[in-house]
Amino acid sequence: MNKIDQKIVVTGGCGFIGSNIVKKLVSIGYSVKVIDDLSAGKVEYIEEPMKDREKCIFVKGSITDSEFLKREFEGYDAILHEAANPDVRTSKDNIFKDFEINVLGTLNVLQAMTSNKITKIVFASSGGTVYGETKVIPTPEDHRLDPISHYGASKASCEQYMASYASLYEIDAITLRLGNIFGPPSNHGVMRDFFMKLKKNPNTLEILGNGKQIKSYLYIDDCVDAHIRALQTQLSGHTAFNIATSEGITVNEIADSVVSVMGLDNVEYSYTGGERGWAGDVKKAVSDTSKAERELQWKPKTSIKDGIRKYISWLEKESQG
């Protein structure tokens, strides 16, 4: 079967990352079914690909419903699993919701795959949370997983089930440990937070923690490209790849870039204090992406600062209606 002839299910396909993946898949010729419960996503995000009803259909439903997934996966060739409860900050107080959606939901996806003899899945994990605090920077994929947040623990659990299902059912399971993904139409994250604060008051900016936290970020177009390459790469068993930029950026540097793009001067920074922005926040998370460059032939094309310019320009247009 030609790869483009494959029929793909995208869970969480109305979300920020999922909707961008759906648009790309349809644009290059794939047939796509989008599954989303719309708890965070919006159908408007996939209006363009849905104009071609033969190439893109939307079904409202939750990955927590195992029988629903078994029905909807019938006749499909591969799964891009993006659906999750994505909020690291709230996972501390909502551990069972995190577990139900992220872990049980992923088990339901894997069970529905085996019921329908689907042997390919690309899973969106988290490079910023599954490793926890590590002294090895940039961090390679063979570093032990030692999360410090419930969200990170849920993603690490999902990866272990990816490995066991890959072994037991001969599934080609690729895990993408994503950095901090940003860009349109994201409605959360540090860049949007800074933009909204500065629109309200262009003279001061409150920064969570001490501003010295350093992370790997990645513009959405490069994230989508990694998913497509993973989908089109045939491997055996379970394989994890870091998908991010291999150089980190501090929160203070992000603030400087946002301020610069917005054309502001003399903005006074204030800090909430402490080394972390919130409970479970990893102070330093930078990914080694050499394995993805080698095995997926993938490399980010957009620098963080160029990505920030694109994203802030989009936010400016959105804020003007």
Residues 183, 312, 302, 145: what is their CA dihedral angle, to the nearest 10 degrees? -50
What confidence score (pLDDT) does residue 211 get? Answer: 95
What confidence score (pLDDT) does residue 321 get? Answer: 67
Q: Determine how β-strand 268-271 pairs with β-strand 249-250.
A: unpaired
**Cβ contact 176:122 at 8 Å:** yes
Residue 28: other Cβ atoms inside 10 A: 11
**Cβ contact 124:17 at 8 Å:** yes
**Cβ contact 13:22 at 8 Å:** yes
What confidence score (pLDDT) does residue 217 get? Answer: 95
What confidence score (pLDDT) does residue 278 get? Answer: 74
What confidence score (pLDDT) does residue 7 get? Answer: 97
Domain ranges of the chain: 3-183+218-245+286-300, 190-213+248-284
What confidence score (pLDDT) does residue 1 get? Answer: 46
Residue 140, preceding peptide bond in cis (omega within 30° of 0):
no
Mean pLDDT, consecutive 10-residue stretches, the chain (321 aa), reads 80 98 97 96 97 95 98 98 83 84 97 98 95 94 94 96 98 97 95 97 96 95 98 96 93 97 97 84 92 97 96 94 67
Q: Which CATH class is domain 3-183+218-245+286-300?
A: alpha beta
Dig out the tokens for 232 from the structure: 């089109």
Is residue 9 classed exposed, middle or buried when 0-12, 13-18 and 19+ CB atoms within 10 A define those classes?
buried
- Is 151 among the catalytic positions? yes
What's the one-letter identity of residue 218? L
What separation in angstroms does the CA of 250 have from each of 60, 186, 271, 286? Answer: 38, 20, 14, 11
The catalytically annotated residue of 45, 131, 151, 217 is 151
pTM: 0.95
